[in-house]
Structure 1
């Protein structure tokens, strides 16, 4: 009986350690995506989302997110190269976040980056260098970034990050 009890305690302790490691590494893994263009450029999204309020209506995406990792919010198949003017707002209440364009050749272009200490107030305009082929815009968050974002684009298709 005593030997079985010791094995049970060891097994329980090992299980708790393993669960703690997985939980501890989960958000850290998502945050590592922030500086990894190859993971950001991936067609599939990789993120942890603690909070999500997203709306899409007639060419306008609005989101309040708590995000670690990257999520696609817009896609556009272009027949030519051109510069697209995109009115936007981006404010961060914690962590840091950026809006990136992934061009058809999977190159990641940082369009704007913000931290809680350097928040842009009001609407500004991004110049987005659209290339012939499939272009995507993603929001990328670091350490559960608390993000408020709005983009206005009359081309392409917006989609929600949330499941």
Structure 2
């Protein structure tokens, strides 16, 4: 792990805003995964990785929004970034260490395709996966890239 730390405090009342934006992004990515798989894979590799196959959602969206060939997902990625920055969700967020400068404070499960591991069979039962369709996106992503 790089030197430094990141910490974010959230207002739970703002979660529906983020869930809506993440759901729209997951739907766009799932629907257009054939066209977007290279851009998603590039953003995935460049996103800040934490333990347990968790990746920073903001750094993933920052890269995805500017990745060549990701025009279809740019608007949805920017909406997630806006939701993460909205004071209705984020009470405070800060970091120490240059490695965390692009971290937005929330992670999402993104098992890399071809890692030799299946997507956790328990992931689809999480409220996040159910409410955003992120698990369905991951399945399409793994089928497309893996």
- TM-score, reference length from structure 1: 0.21
More helix by percentage:
2
If asked which structure has higher relative contact order (CA below 8 Å, sep 6+), I would say 2
